Chains A and B, each alone.
Chain A
């Protein structure tokens, strides 16, 4: 942590673009944090109906619309600020979650391969049963209770049932089965195969189908979208991490470490992870950029994003009803581009720095 601080200071002094990017992001974060106390003349969802499609620098009903208004007279400046808030609040957690998920899955697939992981025979049926229980009591029943508007105490009941069943399965059934020689015997888990096939499968399911399928159960919401994004964005990180892991596994220092009996966790975290950090950071920042763009594309297509959700994409999509309203694209588009650019510039410099340190 201390290292990182020193590193950052070093890069700061060396590069102008890093300075600009970092200050921009810092400024953005400060703005987002102080949003509730900022003296903004308009709220993002406030309509100024006398001034629809107002050009920048129009004096509206009360205060100035510095950056113009959209079809409903919503102030573009307020929407850019609140849009930044929603963009970062959605994309960072989603990307953090999906990147770490991807790293764990990809690294273990690359490290264990198809013959590195052994489990007892009994674990397989027990896990399958547990999965079924989770599906039935954790998903099917609560969803139906929700849909049928049954008392919420039923949901707690079914979750309780789930907990009891899981406890029974893993604390009673599994130890019992492990007493038999046959069921206790170890089998190889082809982890690499499973992970590869699973990522292939997941990337082939159109995201749109997922969004629509879930939207037919629940109202389209930001949380729902985030869940879908998080559940589908990890695949590229996983594949990259797996590929890098395969490369690292073959490196002499790693093989030496394994033969010396260094603990697996230590090897992976202290030696493998730093080695693949470069490509992963690149995918992370590009992933954030992709998410920001995807959100606005969904707004553009009118799928899955609720209309009350303040976002840059919503403002940009407003151009569709009036192509001459350039301010709807230019300002939020610039904010989007600047944010993405800053993220990428920072990651670029961090990466360079890591590499240089590695050389020493």
Chain B
């Protein structure tokens, strides 16, 4: 007993000595990451976390300014000039005069060519980005101006402008000082690459390039962006330090800034822990706050004294896919009946509280120019659903709905799948299950492991699924989702939407010259999607973000990562 009574005060002493809290660096923005980026390779990154950090280290030709949600020139001096020829499209860019690498040398067309080679060459760790630049077939340097060049792209698609400016530019001097890739042309790097795999120079370069530790090697993780990697502690934190005399800060362009002295990214996997760290002021920025917690924070006065809360409309929406190829759902009226069983308001309530906007179409309601206001948001209406089922030929019996399909008496049952681990989809599916039960339709809800889920949707082995998609306000090319040429096994048109009329409409949208025409066609597409009820958008969610009050100019936006940490300015 004596011993215990002795131990207790000692223990308490130790505990109390811990009371000191970690010190705050005022000009150090602390951001939470839910997971560590898998790697920080500018040509092979895999996750949103990596993009957020790489955007501070590297630059691409174009950048999205989160203040206005608009595409703006970054490394490029202005938006590219586009020329459409029969089978190719040409984009001509000019790089900013002042743009330079950390060693002081200028960014030139050579660097762009080098980057394209690294992205397209075989043998290199570039698989994640490679498909995205496949359409760029060649680069034509300007003979008079080393900063000017033209990208040759095959075919035409509306997103091409965005994509030609959407890869990080690498410094060729730093990564290939011997010029091993000089002899290889970008035009050689398309189609069959088996010959190049034996190229001696390429092999030598690959050996060196693949060995670079694109996570913590400060010497190689250098780009033309405003920050440099300062410290990397695996799975704990990543610290970036502002460059001295960065070229971009002299331009006085509001979308090319590097304001905070240091930015640190802290890896905290659990939400509860991150929230506590925020309340303790150990963090300055926290996104993805659970809805119920966000409500709680809103009413917390002590918290409100230190943090601002934001709820921008995001471009991510949750939708239901119905497999129109399945004989059970091939009748439009059956699918419409099922949409009458979707209690969107309850789904929003259980997963997002009030932080979401119901939508009747794939276009976000916040984009008023394109959103078709005539469509009514989906609401639960069981008697209407039953009516529709009857007109579709189903008859109500004691234990459910039956119909004779291909000579066989079939019961209307629905198996709902969703990606395992996603609570929002699970909750939405359970809400649907309950409404369907009221209408007498047995629903089986099944969480499916992520790999298996994409497999199942690709080979059309599903009745109905819950998923989400994220969009943007600048490009609207829905061909992959809705065109019948993508409806084959393995294609992206999982739900089997589409006919000749809709295919024509999709092509017309891509070809539309004016905003008015595009808006008209998009609205037509929305009506068609609404009628067909295979691809049923439910709601657009709102992001929930907290930013410390000592920072201003957060550039809150609906586009990921929802704030621009490089723009944060310290208030007095």
Contact = CB atoms under 8 A, between A and B. Distances in A.
| A and B in contact, CB less than 8 Å | yes
Interface of A: 45-47, 49, 52-53, 71-73, 215-216, 219-220, 302, 306-308, 320-325
A72 B272 contact: no
Interface residues of B, number: 27
B449 interface: yes
B420 A302 contact: yes
Contact of B293 (A216, A307, A322): A322
B346 A71 contact: no
Contacts of A220: 420, 447
A302 B421 contact: yes
A238 to B, nearest CB: 32
B384 to A, nearest CB: 19
B292 A321 contact: yes
Interface stretch (B230-238, B395-403, B422-430, B483-491): B422-430
B442 interface: no
Considering residues A53, A215, A306, A323, which has the most beta carbons from chain B within 10 angstroms of its beta carbon?
A: A323
Given A47-B430, A321-B292, 20 more contacts: A47-B431, A47-B434, A49-B343, A49-B350, A52-B349, A52-B350, A71-B350, A72-B350, A72-B427, A72-B431, A220-B447, A302-B421, A307-B426, A320-B271, A321-B293, A321-B423, A322-B290, A322-B293, A323-B272, A324-B296
Nearest to A73: B350
A49 B449 contact: no
Contacts, number: 58
A71 B346 CA distance: 11
Interface in B521-562: none
27 contacts: A45-B430, A47-B431, A49-B346, A49-B350, A49-B434, A71-B292, A71-B350, A71-B427, A72-B427, A72-B431, A73-B350, A216-B449, A216-B452, A220-B447, A302-B420, A306-B447, A307-B445, A320-B271, A320-B272, A320-B290, A321-B293, A322-B293, A322-B296, A323-B272, A323-B275, A323-B293, A323-B296
B446 interface: yes
Interface of B: 271-272, 275, 290-293, 296, 343, 346, 349-350, 420-421, 423, 426-427, 430-431, 434, 445-449, 451-452
Contacts of B272: 320, 323
A73 B347 CA distance: 12
Contacts of B275: 323
A217 to B, nearest CB: 10
A47 B431 CA distance: 7
Secondary structure type dominating chain A contacts? loop
A334 B423 CA distance: 25
B356 to A, nearest CB: 15
Contact of A49 (B293, B296, B431, B445): B431
Contacts of A321: 290-293, 423
Nearest to A318: B423
A323 B276 CA distance: 11
Nearest to B451: A216
B449 A322 contact: no
A321 B447 CA distance: 19
A286 B343 CA distance: 45
A259 B52 CA distance: 77
A299 to B, nearest CB: 11
A321 B446 CA distance: 21
Contacts of B431: 47, 49, 72
Contacts of A73: 350
B430 A72 contact: yes
Contacts of B430: 45, 47, 72, 307
A302 B421 CA distance: 6
A322 B292 contact: yes
Contact of B446 (A72, A219, A324): A219
A193 B54 CA distance: 54
Given A71-B427, A302-B421, A321-B290, A49 B447 contact: no
Contacts of A302: 420-421, 423
B421 to A, nearest CB: 5
Top-7 shortest CB links A-B: A322-B292, A49-B346, A302-B421, A47-B434, A321-B290, A307-B426, A72-B350
A222 to B, nearest CB: 14
A219 B446 CA distance: 8
A307 B420 CA distance: 9
A47 to B, nearest CB: 5
A72 B452 CA distance: 27
B546 to A, nearest CB: 15
A130 B477 CA distance: 60
Contacts of B271: 320
